[in-house]
Copies of this chain bind each other. A is one copy, B any other.
Amino acid sequence: MTRSVKMPASYPAIVENRGGKGRAILVCEHASKAIPPRWGDLGLTAAQREAHIAWDIGALGLARGLERRLDAVLVHAPVSRLVYDCNRAPDQPGAIAERSEMHQIPGNTALDAAERAERTESVYLPFHEGLHAEITRRIALGLSPVLVTIHSFTPQWHGRPRDLEFGIIHDADDRLARAVLAGVAPTGLRAALNQPYAASDDVTHTLKLHALPYGLPNVMLELRNDLIATPEAQEAMADRLAPALAAALTAGAHEMAG
């Protein structure tokens, strides 16, 4: 008796500049707005599938600019967070959001456990396996890696403008976040610690999963997306941020040896 076995698709992490010699491992969980065909359009309009609910606008371009300036490795996810948000554990409500900001997501409503497990296996797991492999390889090679996740946020929230330009977010280990904050003045950005989100908003899953168990210094960076909307703006922002990050890594190198 033969049976056809349904093999789940797999969307591996994309790794760029794997040979980079800098300490930073840059991570972009929300790099992509791509929705693979098996999930159709999730019941959303084309405009919704281009918007912030699908991805962090500008984050990947900024991350690539930082990658080149810091000789960092960059790990990013190839699938939209509308399918699975790789910065959420499988039991967090935001992992497969039924609602994001004001938008209902019909294709994510009333999923059964098997569908949740399939998305976890297809999107979440291969992304984190790829990132885990890169982290552990660098630890084993004695490269003292640090983890920096790159995100963007909307200039308006429920109709109100946000003054913040640069958020620096930490989980239980605040060493790198405080080092970045200490060096932020030359960037000229309006910056704050744990704004516009904080660990209590469940936004630090990647830091918990990959940095804390290994004692790696880590931070989550949030840029207001109107400041990184074009390739030119992303390059300009990378120019402003790279020296501050480099200084934070150097200044903290002794304390942050792990």
Of the candidates B113, B132, B137, B209, the one whose C-beta lies within 8 Å of that of A129 is B132
A89, B139: Cβ atoms under 8 Å? yes
Residue A205 lies at the interface, judged by CB distance under 8 Å to chain B: yes
Oligomeric state, in number of copies?
A: 2
- A176-213 to B contact mask, C-beta < 8 Å, 1/0: 00000000000000000000000000000100110011
B212, A212: Cβ atoms under 8 Å? yes
A84 CB, nearest partner CB in chain B, Å? 10
Of the candidates B116, B133, B142, B205, the one whose C-beta lies within 8 Å of that of A140 is B116
- In the bound complex, how far is the Cα of B138 from the Cα of A125, in angstroms? 13
**Prevailing SS type, chain A contact patch:** helix
The interface residues of chain B lying within 8 Å CB-to-CB of A90 are 136, 139-140
User: Is the interface on chain A under 10, 10 to 19, 20 to 34, or 35 or more residues?
Assistant: 20 to 34
Of the candidates B121, B137, B213, the one whose C-beta lies within 8 Å of that of A121 is B137
- In the bound complex, how far is the Cα of B133 from the Cα of A120, in angstroms? 9
Interface residues of A in 161-187 (CB under 8 A from B): none
A121, B133: Cβ atoms under 8 Å? yes
B141, A124: Cβ atoms under 8 Å? no
- In the bound complex, how far is the Cα of B91 from the Cα of A136, in angstroms? 9
Residue A117 lies at the interface, judged by CB distance under 8 Å to chain B: yes
The interface residues of chain B lying within 8 Å CB-to-CB of A43 are none
A125, B133: Cβ atoms under 8 Å? yes
- A103-130 to B contact mask, C-beta < 8 Å, 1/0: 0000000000110110111001100110
The interface residues of chain B lying within 8 Å CB-to-CB of A212 are 208, 212-213
Residue A231 lies at the interface, judged by CB distance under 8 Å to chain B: no
The interface residues of chain B lying within 8 Å CB-to-CB of A124 are 136
- In the bound complex, how far is the Cα of B214 from the Cα of A89, in angstroms? 7
Residue A36 lies at the interface, judged by CB distance under 8 Å to chain B: no
Residue A258 lies at the interface, judged by CB distance under 8 Å to chain B: yes
**Extra contacts besides A89-B214, A91-B139, A119-B140 (14): CB < 8 Å:** A89-B136, A91-B214, A91-B258, A113-B141, A113-B142, A114-B141, A116-B140, A116-B142, A117-B137, A120-B136, A121-B133, A121-B136, A208-B212, A212-B212
